[in-house]
Amino acid sequence: MREIRQQPSKRKHRSSSEDVAYEFDESSSSESNSVADNDVSALAERKPSLIARELARYNIDIAAISETHLSDTGELSEHLGGYTYYWSGRPAGERAGSGVGFAIRNSLARDLSELPKGVNDRLMTLRMPISNNKYAHLISAYAPTLPSADEDKELFYQHLRKTLENIPICDKVILLGDFNARVGTDCDIWNGALGKHEIGKCNDNGLRLLSLCAQFNLSITNTYFRLADKYKTSWMHPRSKHWHLLDYIIVRQKDLRDVLVTRAMRGAVGWTDHRLIRSKMRLQLKAPRRAQNKIPPKLAFSNLITSQELGKTLDLKFAASAPEPDQGNVDGEWKSFAKHLHDCALDILGKPQKRNQDWFDESDEEIRTLVKRHRHELNSKQIHANSNRDASRKLKCKVRELKDKSMAAK
């Protein structure tokens, strides 16, 4: 996943000195954070909320997600977690698989001038305005795995090339995702595309990715920072137990100066065998145009259906204190009329009550304690690396027990 951190400025536009692009992969494992249920209202174990908690802990504003396993395109807002999810997957009639998306902090999602657009089940784009009438184009990508057919790989890169060709050269590009590729260490051959701090050997998928970067003058930011290998690699091979770098954050070569650091976040809990990759960047996001008039609060109109007395009381209150008509100013008279009507309705009807909390909200404190204890066990030197998956399995079982307990009580 990738984040873009935005800090308000005293000037008319918003500026961000440490905008972060953050990539999180949900793929490649039965323990992944993918969601196989097409019913968005019943997402398995409320994983979006659990992911949102980790994003908030790392102060992530925008995250790209791979392999969501959701059909069609859609949107889900987690008010408690503070993030809104957008996804693009296969058509509803086909078997769920692949899928990409974005998780955007609600404070940013409300101000989006354009919603993310799905290209297919492996590509999704998001265009955000920045300063000087330019845009930043974020692309969430999930490439076919190494054993996949060559036709699938060619089709993926064909769609990705077409997407990049449609982006103006003056705009910024932030390409995020799980490319299932190893790019190797030949920085002299792939000058510009690779930095001097790469890791591992190159494979066939890596050659495809490097060729794409060379064609569009892109740079893999993961290879431009001198870090220990444990802060570079993102995935461990299940048999050899060797760590590899498969998840990348890629920008234009001319925008490398805006990238502060790109590294793996080892402490993030995502129920996936991929580590989170985060990149801090300097960006200036353009402030959205806001409405001049404040939107009035919602009213509990449903009370009128259950009580006829409320309707009569509202009519009497409005008639008793109705404003005098102003024949000379129609707009002013209408505003005065609308404000008086809303004030009367607010006094009589009140605001709508919030819905009852679900099992996840009721068990919030217990889940926080379980996740904190689980994170402490993962960071403990006494626990063996092979038992990390067992610890994650136990945590999921405990969360299911809390859900069953809450549902049985109702």
Print pLDDT tens along the chain (410 aa): 444 433 333 333 444 444 444 444 443 332 223 222 333 333 444 677 888 888 888 888 899 999 888 989 999 988 778 899 999 999 988 888 889 999 999 988 888 889 999 999 999 999 998 877 889 999 999 999 999 999 999 999 999 999 999 999 999 999 999 999 999 999 999 999 999 998 889 999 999 999 999 999 999 999 999 999 999 999 999 899 999 999 999 999 999 999 999 999 988 877 688 999 999 888 877 776 665 566 777 888 777 787 888 888 888 888 887 777 766 677 777 888 888 888 888 888 888 776 655 666 677 778 888 888 888 777 775 556 566 777 778 888 888 888 888 777 76
CB 26 within 8 A of CB 103: no
pTM of the model: 0.66
Q: Which residues share a beta bridge with 83?
A: 78, 105
Q: What fold, for 16-283?
A: Deoxyribonuclease I; Chain A (3.60.10)
**Cα separation, 167 vs 202, whole angstroms:** 28
Place of tokens 């009213």: 299
